Structure 1
């Protein structure tokens, strides 16, 4: 299986396991800048040079050797499940993508037909009941994850722990897992542990939020999207994410973690 979703600087200073909707665009740009002295012009996910990626054939053996040797600093970044799935909904379901089309072609029309969701019209600009529509999307997300129907789960709403686990199960070990919610502190700790050819001041780094502007803005506080049933579905889908990464399941209004991530626990529970 190798190391899907893994990026590495060309200088091999650091290895990063990408987790969608967890500041991956900003992290990738920081890695790119650290080697090249400037940011990639465009979406870092489209870069095919200036950084090693598992998706690039020439990068695979280099990433494999670095991870197996265990000498390259390895990290990833996680996010509160409540805000992560809301972000996925507004970006991927309600939003028009960079190519001017809906995400994954006929998926949104299928959701409209089978689950009765609303996405704000053809271009996502019309008013609609965001809470009602999101809760129906959440039912769909649960169906994809638990039953793989009516399709396999998408990387943007499949569990964070699932993404994180592939790196461990194939022989990698994380030196650091930090939270999107305290991004600068976590990313600075990573930078402090590696050689950075081009110095970076995190307070000056733009936020490369590639999904910003794709869809309608969230009209309500996070907690208003989650009633008792929605929270039950969230626990069914993301129980391991809440527990391992120390997020507050009981209070959707609290996006901040309520404990410290135990790396030994993460490796033990995700390494099976």
Structure 2
């Protein structure tokens, strides 16, 4: 299986396990900049050189050797499950993607037909009941994760613990797992532990939110989208994420983690 979703700088200064919807565009650009002193021109997910990625065949032996030897500092970044799944809904389901089309072809028509989800019309700009549609989308997310139907779960809404686990199960070890909600603090700690060809001034780095503007703006506070049933579904789907990454399940309105991640606990529970 190897190390899917793993990126590494060409200088091998640092290794990063990508988790979608968790500041991955900004982190990738910081890694790229730390090697080359410039940002990638475009979405970093589209780069095919100057940054090692498991999806690039020539990068695989280098990443595998490094990770198995724990030759470089390795990290990842997580996000509150409530805001992460909301972001997935507005970006991937309601939004028009950068190729000018809907995400994954017939996915959105299937959601409209089978789950009664509304997305704001053909271009995503029309008015619709965001709360009702999101809760129906959450039923779909549960079905994909619990029963793998009507499709396999998508990387943007599958549990973060599953992404984190593949890295551990295949021989990787994390030195740091930090929070999107405390991005500067966490990313600075990573930079403090590594040596890079180019110095990174984190305060001067722009945020590369590649999904921003794809979909309609969220109109309500996070907690308004989650009633008792929605919270029950969130626990069924993402209980490991809440527990391992220390987020507040009881209060959807509290996006901040309750404590730091216990790396020993993560390696023990996800390394089976």
| TM-score bracket for the superposition, by shorter chain length | over 0.9
Q: TM-score, normalised by structure 2?
A: 1.00
Q: Which position in structure 1 is the counterpart of 2:100? A: 100
Question: Mapping of 1:21-170 within 5 angstroms?
Answer: 21-170=21-170
Deviations, residues 45-99 of structure 1 (Å, cap 9, x unaligned): 0000111000111100000110011121000000000000000000000000000
Find runs of 4+ consecutive structure 1 residues off by over 3 angstroms: none
Q: Which position in structure 2 is the counterpart of 1:197? A: 197
For residue 181 of structure 1, give the secondary structure of its aligned residue in structure 2. helix
Distance 1:135 1:108 in 2: 15
Structure 2 segments unaligned to the other structure (5+ residues)? none
Q: How many corresponding residue pairs?
A: 272
Deviations, residues 225-268 of structure 1 (Å, cap 9, x unaligned): 00000000000000000000000000000000001210000000
Q: TM-score, normalised by structure 1?
A: 1.00
Distance 1:229 1:52 in 2: 42
- 1:161 CA drift (Å): 0.3
Q: Does 1:241 align with 2:241?
A: yes
For residue 178 of structure 1, give the secondary structure of its aligned residue in structure 2. strand
For residue 258 of structure 2, give the secondary structure of its aligned residue in structure 1. coil
Q: Which position in structure 1 is the counterpart of 2:268? A: 268
Distance 1:121 1:58 in 2: 42
Distance 2:151 2:66 in 1: 35
Distance 2:33 2:50 in 1: 9
Structure 1 segments unaligned to the other structure (5+ residues)? none
